[in-house]
Amino acid sequence: MTADESRSDSPLAEVRDDVPHSARIYNFWLGGKDHYEIDRIVGQQVIEAEPDFVDQMRNNRAFLGRAVEYMVHEAGIRQFLDIGTGLPTADNTHQVAQRAVPECRIVYVDNDPIVLAHARALLTSSPEGATDYIDADMHDPGTIFAAAAKTLDFSEPVGVMMLGVINHIGDDAEAKALIDDVMGRVAPGSHLAVSVSTNVVKPENMDRATAAYNEAFGNPPIHMYTPERIAALLADLEPVDPGVVSVARWRPTLAPADGQLPETDLFVGVARKP
């Protein structure tokens, strides 16, 4: 435990440090400081199974930035609903959006008390815009939208972020129904960004990584998808070019010197509600 984590006013102060926690493990993968030794142990087990996993998670964070910037600059969106916030790190949704347009309004959603404590402490809005945080489960869009309506105007387009959450749903029909429900509540012109782990590039590694993660948690477990299954979830929306692709290949801002962007087992996509 770091000195900061041991302070009585830290959001982690009353949290057990002998039980791994998914949000803290993700924070470890991103190079953050809000995690304990048990989180590092589990996170390292996943990395040993799939050494590319850290790059996937960091590319996922970079994708968030590119997707938000696309929605703000090219789609003209000024409000965002981020479902499954995770522990704050650098370049959170509101920071990217409000850096471009300070008036942007953002609502974060999570049902994890650790995440919410950090969010309320660290995610502060620009004076011109607004930021709010909702304690709700992604499976309960009714509660989410009722609370978010205090900050967001759902008669206008919204950018919906669902990064790293679909993997917690093993049934395709259930995942499609959730996405349809969420996008059915927003105005035409709204966009959805998703990122979902797959096991098609390095199946054996990803299956081992999944097993290590699920053995540590188990509830809710994570499930691997394929790019085709991800695309099917977005079938009723208009895909934004280049469609569902490996994370580094979605509108990269910088290309490697050799021009070869890596393909890893994290696929992403952005789609528009017609």
Domains of the chain and any CATH numbers: 5-251+260-272 (3.40.50.150)
Instruction: Give the pLDDT band (50/70/90) at residue 25.
Output: confident
Cα–Cα nearest to 174, from 130, 225, 99 = 225
**Element at 172 (helix H, strand E):** helix 172-184
Structure tokens at 244: 């569902």
Average pLDDT of the chain? 86
Structure tokens at 142: 């009714």
On the question of pLDDT at 9 being above 50, the answer is no
Q: Residue 220: is the preceding peptide bond cis (ω within 30°)?
A: yes
* CB 218 within 8 Å of CB 230: no
What's the N-to-C CA distance of the chain in angstroms? 49
Per-residue pLDDT tens over the stretch 90-126:
788 999 999 999 999 999 998 877 777 777 766 678 8
Mean pLDDT of 20-45: 76
On the question of pLDDT at 177 being above 70, the answer is yes
CB neighbours of residue 32 within 10 Å: 16
Interatomic CA distance for residues 28 and 21, integer angstroms: 11
Cα–Cα nearest to 61, from 31, 96, 91, 100 = 91
Per-residue pLDDT tens over the stretch 193-219:
999 999 999 999 999 989 988 887 767
CB neighbours of residue 260 within 10 Å: 8
Q: Torsion angle of alpha carbons 132, 138, 142, 143, nearest 10°?
A: -50
Percent of the chain's residues with pLDDT above 90: 59
Interatomic CA distance for residues 209 and 200, integer angstroms: 13
- The whole-number pLDDT of residue 71 equals 98
